[in-house]
Chain A
């Protein structure tokens, strides 16, 4: 359903609120059919909250956005699809493990997608978030150094 909507009516994502409402309806559906998934998403959120200088907000294309110093480094949609920003090198090395996929829209980018399907996936999702957080932090620090 999610892939169908992204593929067929993905152009509507730029309409104000469209993606957010769609994600809320997925959240509603998941609450009724797979409530434990919402627990895992909450666990991810708590994990990110403990990382210094992070904030959590609404993602413009629906879901929860994770930011470091105001810059997004990951987001999770309410169907359990976690999108994480890595660099190409890191992405390629993780791809060999077979757990992650190219980002469901931006295939040729540093973004990757990972589906939370069971509780065990939560550990791997946290590892991905740690890596993305470290990358975002390093990038921010290097920009700061360049500015000096």
Chain B
């Protein structure tokens, strides 16, 4: 009896109702959107990380509008709202821990903003304004969902090696396992990092494999083999991982060896990728940082082997 009473008290709580309805709304919208746009599977549009969390915040504010609720409480409950959304994404959308860690600043930022914007909106008691704001946000969501999304980027890094191009080349095409400790925080918390590279033959058209710390293998094909100068390989198959690798397609990699004429070589590493998560102004920062750290881990290893 008392359990039923407590349960009904909890369910009747406006706080909980706001959080529940906001999450149900979000996942219904995302479900409808992904079922209507099957051709774009794998693409996550900016509205899913910006408009939906903001609407979630506004929904909670509507439920809380007649409560004497202080800003600190709004913040706390909004964080809880975001945590629930993140947990649902983890269990039902199959997103990985690191991916959710990366996405969380957007989710929390926009949910908290939505809750405070909603509080200001509902205080004015201007229904026309409220409907206009919500319609505008939904309109943006629909247009964004129906738009084409494509983003390609190239990241380039270089490193000076105290060895000749001939020596460096020996370790560029394939290299022994990397034994150095991870020094990039995302690698330290479990993001796969490059460990070794093998090659079927040292020639154009050969198959190359880049092996990552969790056993993932990127299958590559050498498309340019200019000895001691330039190696280009296309990625022909990459693992689909719930972490960031499921949201980024590495297309091509390149090593350029520049002979400095004084016994040293400048090694340039380039990578091309397609990003499947938007907004790019946010995710590309992460993608660039991760790609750069993959480059440096491999290039530092090549430097170590070449200078030995």
Using a CB–CB cutoff of 8 Å, the interface residues on chain A facing chain B are 17, 20-25, 27-28, 31, 35, 38-39, 41-42, 45, 55-58, 64
> How distant is B133 from chain A, measured CB to nearest CB, in Å?
12
Q: Which residues of chain B come closer than 8 Å to A24, judged between CB atoms? A: 108-110, 112-113, 116
Cross-chain contact of B70 among A21, A28, A42 (Cβ < 8 A): A42
Q: Which residues of chain A come closer than 8 Å to B112, judged between CB atoms? A: 24-25, 27-28
Q: Which residues of chain B come closer than 8 Å to A25, judged between CB atoms? A: 105, 108-109, 112
Q: Which residues of chain A come closer than 8 Å to B109, judged between CB atoms? A: 21-22, 24-25, 28
- Cβ of A31 and Cβ of B75 under 8 Å apart? yes
> How distant is A16 from chain B, measured CB to nearest CB, in Å?
11
Q: Which residues of chain B come closer than 8 Å to A64, judged between CB atoms? A: 71
Using a CB–CB cutoff of 8 Å, the interface residues on chain B facing chain A are 70-72, 75-76, 79, 105, 108-110, 112-113, 116-117, 120, 123
- Cβ of B113 and Cβ of A38 under 8 Å apart? no
Of A27, A39, A55, A58, chain B has the most CB atoms within 10 Å of the CB of: A27
Number of interchain pairs (Cβ within 8 Å): 53
- Cβ of B75 and Cβ of A38 under 8 Å apart? yes
What are 24 A-B residue pairs whose CB atoms fall within 8 Å in the complex?
Answer: A17-B113, A20-B113, A20-B117, A21-B109, A21-B113, A23-B113, A24-B108, A24-B110, A24-B113, A24-B116, A25-B109, A28-B109, A28-B112, A31-B72, A31-B79, A35-B72, A38-B72, A38-B75, A39-B72, A42-B71, A56-B120, A56-B123, A58-B117, A64-B71
- Cβ of B108 and Cβ of A38 under 8 Å apart? no
Q: Which residues of chain A come closer than 8 Å to B70, judged between CB atoms? A: 39, 42, 45
Q: Which residues of chain A come closer than 8 Å to B120, judged between CB atoms? A: 56-58
- Closest B residue to A42 by beta carbon equals B70
**A28-B79 in contact given A38-B72, A42-B72 (Cβ < 8 Å):** yes
Of B105, B108, B113, chain A has the most CB atoms within 10 Å of the CB of: B113
- Closest A residue to B113 by beta carbon equals A24
Bound CA span A67–B113, Å = 20
Q: Which residues of chain A come closer than 8 Å to B105, judged between CB atoms? A: 25
Q: Which residues of chain B come closer than 8 Å to A27, judged between CB atoms? A: 71, 75, 112
Q: Which residues of chain A come closer than 8 Å to B76, judged between CB atoms? A: 31
Q: Which residues of chain B come closer than 8 Å to A58, judged between CB atoms? A: 116-117, 120
- Closest B residue to A57 by beta carbon equals B120
Q: Which residues of chain A come closer than 8 Å to B71, judged between CB atoms? A: 27, 38, 41-42, 45, 64
Bound CA span A41–B72, Å = 9
Q: Which residues of chain B come closer than 8 Å to A39, judged between CB atoms? A: 70, 72
Bound CA span A45–B73, Å = 14
Bound CA span A65–B166, Å = 65
**7 extra interface residue pairs, beta carbon distance < 8 Å, beyond A21-B110, A42-B71, A45-B70:** A24-B109, A25-B108, A27-B71, A27-B112, A31-B75, A42-B70, A42-B72
> How distant is B136 from chain A, measured CB to nearest CB, in Å?
11
Bound CA span A135–B112, Å = 32
Q: Which residues of chain B come closer than 8 Å to A41, judged between CB atoms? A: 71-72
Closest 6 CB pairs of A and B: A38-B72, A24-B112, A42-B70, A24-B113, A21-B109, A57-B120
Bound CA span A40–B128, Å = 34
Of A24, A41, A56, chain B has the most CB atoms within 10 Å of the CB of: A24
Q: Which residues of chain A come closer than 8 Å to B72, judged between CB atoms? A: 31, 35, 38-39, 41-42
> How distant is B192 from chain A, measured CB to nearest CB, in Å?
28
Bound CA span A22–B116, Å = 13
> How distant is A31 from chain B, measured CB to nearest CB, in Å?
5
- Closest B residue to A32 by beta carbon equals B79
Bound CA span A39–B120, Å = 19
> How distant is A11 from chain B, measured CB to nearest CB, in Å?
14
Bound CA span A34–B120, Å = 24
Bound CA span A17–B136, Å = 14
Bound CA span A64–B120, Å = 10
Bound CA span A28–B117, Å = 15
Q: Which residues of chain B come closer than 8 Å to A21, judged between CB atoms? A: 109-110, 113
Q: Which residues of chain A come closer than 8 Å to B123, judged between CB atoms? A: 55-57
